[in-house]
Structure 1
């Protein structure tokens, strides 16, 4: 995998020959599935040799997963480790709430004998991984044909709500993490005030993650069902109890034409457009908006791009800036895994 020139990442180590042909284990930790890969750095890019997934909740620690991956694949003398985690990383440590694990790069380095261990927030890692995707993996929602110069925003609803960005320094894009998904949600209409009150009774503080995530999609659905009294077919309730909620909801909306499911997805997309607007304005992301994550990938064919764009550019005073910002859907998985491997290979000189 080689770097895409549309994403001129700041990777000073690319010019250092000592970073060529380095062996790396990359890990992307998620609440449900943890993915590990065995990589080699090559010619300013990376090459994956092995990739395995593990059910996260079946392990008591990340070290247990890492040890299993190394043993199963008979890996010896791996030089570096990169870890992407669903939470903030502070001074080489992270305690992601959805995992219940405490991670410390110095402890992992000592226990396994790596020469270097890096750890990033998972969406910051994905921002590096975007630098490796093909043009065909960028699906335009609205664009003039290319990414303009400037900061770039990334929004990724999945198990949680990831928000990150790139700072454009005039030559390079420099990824950075945020915890913007935990900022407070604000309603706009009377129905949304009802929705806010519904969530307030459950959570107290209502964050955007309570609205734009897999749990958020369920929150929208149950508000429509329990408060607004939209009917739910009995067979659908049984499907939900036996399957993946988001997938079953989407299937019921598209294949079975169930009104409550269609309204739930439409509402989710309206909130997605609004929070995309918020993030873009806060980062002054004139270089573009990237929408990633499990849910947008799942419902990609359902999205009315013109309608999304019209909702996105609504603003009190900034509509002129917003209407010129290109928007892309990301169609590929594993940007987090590839990104942490790329960062671990080349960020340091």
Structure 2
């Protein structure tokens, strides 16, 4: 995997020969599946040698998963470890609520003997990994042909709502994390006020993550079913409860033309366009908007690009800026894993 020139990342360690041919374990820790990979650095890029998935909830700690990965693959003297986690990282520590684990880079250095351990928010890691994407892995929703100069916004609805960005320093893009998904949701129409009240009775404070995530899509669906009284076909409730909720809802909407599922997806995409607008404005992301995450990838074929773009660019005074910003949907889901390995290989102050 080599760096894409569309993403001129600030990676000063690329020029340091001591970062060549280094063995690295990268891990993307998620609520459902933890993915671990063994990488070797070289020529300013990465080569992945091994990749395994582990059901997160079946393990008491990440250390348990890490030991298993090392033993199963007979790895010895691995130099570096990088971890992408679904939450904030402060002074090398993180306690992601979705995992229930306490993580400290110093513990992994001590217990496993790594010379270097890094830990980043998962969407910041994903931002690094996006620099390894090929052009074919970018699905254009709207573009003038290339990423323009300027900051870039990243929006990723999945188990939670990830928000991050790239700061453009005039020469390089520098990824950074945010916790913007936990900012408060605001309704615009009378029906959305009803939806807000529905969520307020459940959560108290209603965040954008309560709307734009797997739980958020379920919230939209049950509001349509329980409050707006849209009929639910017989048997659908069992399928949604016992299968992959997003995939089953998508299948019902696209293959079976189930109205409540189509309205749920349309509503979700309208909210996604609105929060994309919010994030782009807050970051002044004239360089582009990147949409990632499991949900966007699952429903990609359903997205009406023209309609999404029209909803996205609505603004009180900033439409001239918004309408010229390129929008891409990321088609692959390995950016978090690849990104933390890239950071651990080449990032140096």
Q: Aligning the two structures, in what range does the TM-score lie when normalised by the shorter sequence? A: over 0.9
1:38 aligns with: 38
1:153 aligns with: 153
The 2-side partners of 1:268 and 1:198 are apart by: 16
Query: Deviation at 1:333?
Result: 1.4
Query: Deviation at 1:308?
Result: 0.2
* Partner deviation per Cα, 1:74-130 (whole Å, 9 max, x = no partner): 000000000000000000000000000000001111110000000000000000000
2:184 aligns with: 184
Pairwise mapping of residues 181-260 of structure 1 onto structure 2 (< 5 A)?
A: 181-260=181-260
The 1-side partners of 2:190 and 2:109 are apart by: 53
The 2-side partners of 1:241 and 1:4 are apart by: 40
2:301 aligns with: 301
Unaligned runs of 5+ in 1: none
Query: Deviation at 1:168?
Result: 0.2
* Partner deviation per Cα, 1:26-56 (whole Å, 9 max, x = no partner): 0000000000000000000000000000000
The 1-side partners of 2:10 and 2:222 are apart by: 44
1:340 aligns with: 340
Pairwise mapping of residues 242-281 of structure 1 onto structure 2 (< 5 A)?
A: 242-281=242-281
Secondary structure, aligned partner of 2:89: coil
The 1-side partners of 2:205 and 2:112 are apart by: 40
Does residue 10 (structure 1) correspond to residue 10 (structure 2)? The answer is: yes
**How big is the alpha-carbon RMSD for the aligned residues of Structure 1 and Structure 2?**
0.5
Unaligned runs of 5+ in 2: none
2:102 aligns with: 102
The 1-side partners of 2:238 and 2:124 are apart by: 38
* Partner deviation per Cα, 1:235-273 (whole Å, 9 max, x = no partner): 111211221111100000000000000000000000000
The 2-side partners of 1:186 and 1:109 are apart by: 44
Query: Deviation at 1:328?
Result: 0.2
Secondary structure, aligned partner of 2:280: helix
Query: Deviation at 1:299?
Result: 0.5
The 2-side partners of 1:110 and 1:204 are apart by: 42
Secondary structure, aligned partner of 1:175: strand
Query: Deviation at 1:234?
Result: 1.7
1:136 aligns with: 136
Does residue 317 (structure 1) correspond to residue 317 (structure 2)? The answer is: yes
The 2-side partners of 1:38 and 1:197 are apart by: 47
Secondary structure, aligned partner of 1:314: coil
Normalised by the length of structure 1, the TM-score is 1.00
Secondary structure, aligned partner of 2:131: helix
Counting matched residue pairs gives 349
Stretches (4+) displaced over 4 A = none
2:75 aligns with: 75
The 2-side partners of 1:242 and 1:152 are apart by: 38
Query: Deviation at 1:290?
Result: 0.2
2:168 aligns with: 168
The 2-side partners of 1:76 and 1:317 are apart by: 58
Does residue 85 (structure 1) correspond to residue 71 (structure 2)? The answer is: no
